[in-house]
Amino acid sequence: MNKKRITKRDIKRNLTWYSFIIVTLVALVVLVYFPTLKTLYFSTTNMGTYGTDYEVTGLRNYATLLTSKSFLKALKNTMLLGIYGLLTIPFGFLLANAINSLGRTKLQGFFRVMFYMPNIITGVSVVLIFQYVLKGNGGLLNQFLSMVLGREITIGWITDPALSHVGATIIWLWMNLGYSMLLNLASLQSIPTEIYDAASVDGATRLKRMIYITIPQMKSCFAFLFVTGMINGLSRFTDLYILGGNACAGRPNGTLQTILMYIYQYSFESPRYGLSSAGAVILFAIVFVMTIFNVKLSGFMKGGD
C-alpha cells in the first residue's frame, strides 16, 4: 500500500489554514481553559482576600456550600427563576401567531420591531423602568389593577418576599419575549402553506390545524428556545443585582439571590475565593448537566419530526 508523501508545500498550505484559527485557539486557552482549571484548583483551597498563605483543603468548600442554607436557597431561587423564565416560549408562540395572522404586511413589520425593541435596551435601563412600574405604592401596574378592580391595590411585586419571583419574572418576560416571538414567527412562516390548504380541504378546523400541523412543525424551534432559555435563566445577574439595591443579598429576604450572585458576594463583597470558586464549579456542573439533557431532548424532538 502506497503512503502519501507529505511535501513542504502541503505543510505550508496547512499552516496557512491553521493560521486562521490560531488566534481563537490561543484566546480560548488563555481566557477560558486556563482560568477554568485554576478555578477548579482554587475551589480545593481556603484562599482568602489576598490570595497568599492558603492551603489545600480538599472538598471542604463543597461540603460547606452543600450544607449552607443560604447557598441551597440561592440554588432553589436559580432553578425556580430559570423555570419561570421559560414562560417566554408559550407566550412568544401565541404572540407570533397573532402577528403572523396579519399577513406579510407593513403592519406585521411594525409589530415585529415594536415587540423586539426591549431586547436592544440595556438591562439596567429596563430594571430602572420596572422599579417604577412594579412599585407597591403608586406603581403603574398597581394603578392599572386598581382601575380595573375598582379598589386600591398596593401589591409589592418586588418588595414582598412572597411575590418577588413574580415581579422578577415579569421583568424577564418583558426583556426576552420579543426574541422568542421573532424565532417563533420565523418558524411559523417556514411551514409550507400547502399543508394548511390540504387540511382545510379535508375540513380541519383552526384548532385542529394548530394541534396537528403547527405545533409538531415547531418542535425544533421549541427545543432551541428551551435550551437557550434555561441556560440564560440560570445565569441571571444584572437585573436581580439592581433590584437588590446593587448588592448580592438578593433582597427582599434573599428571595432573589441566585448562585451567580452568591459567587459574586464571596468574590468581591466578602472575599472568600476558595468558597466562591467552589460555587462556580457547582454552577458549571449544573449548567453542563442541564445542557447535555437539553441537547438530548432537542435531538429527540428533532428526530420526531
Cα-to-chain-centroid distance, residue 31 = 22
Answer yes or no: is 47 within a domain: no
Going by C-alpha positions, the residue among 68, 71, 64 that lies closest to residue 258 is: 71
Rounded distance between C-alpha atoms, residue 270 and residue 289, angstroms: 29
Which pLDDT does position 22 carry in this prediction? 85
Same domain, yes or no, for 31 and 144?
Answer: no
Instruction: Output the pLDDT for position 244.
Output: 82
pLDDT score at 78: 92
Number of domains in the chain: 2
Confidence at 119, pLDDT banded by 50, 70, 90: confident
Whether residue 178 sits in one domain with residue 112: yes
Over residues 159-173, the pLDDT tens digits come to 888 999 999 999 999
Q: Record the cell numbers describing residue 142, joined without a space.
A: 398597581
- Cell 489554514 belongs to 17
pLDDT of residue 46: 86
248 with 162, same domain: the answer is yes
**121 lies in a domain?**
yes
Of the candidate ranges 38-47, 62-71, 117-126, 276-285, the one whose mean pLDDT is the lowest: 117-126
Instruction: Mark whether 102 and 244 lie in a shared domain.
Output: yes
| Closest C-alpha among 85, 106, 76 to residue 254 | 76
Separation CA 46–CA 61 (nearest Å) = 8
Is position 164 within any domain? Answer: yes
Close Cβ partners of 12 (under 8 Å, ≥ 6 residues apart): none
How many alpha carbons fall within 13 Å on the CB side of residue 22? 7
Among all chains, which residue has been given the C-alpha cell 428526530? 303
pLDDT tens digits, 42-89: 999 888 766 667 788 889 999 999 999 999 999 999 999 999 999 999
pLDDT at 2: 53
Residue 50 lies in a domain: no
pLDDT of residue 305: 47
Q: Is residue 53 within 8 Å of 70, Cβ to Cβ? A: no
The CATH code of the domain that includes 289 is 1.10.3720.10
Grid cell listed for 293: 439533557
Q: Are 282 and 168 in a shared domain?
A: yes
Residues 91 and 36 both lie in one domain: no
**Per mean pLDDT, which range of 114-123, 130-139, 201-210, 295-304 is the poorest?**
295-304
DSSP labels, 256-276: T--HHHHHHIIIIIS--HHHH
Q: Kindly state whether residue 73 falls inside one of the protein's structural domains.
A: yes
The pLDDT of residue 3 is: 56
Domain range for 21 is 8-42
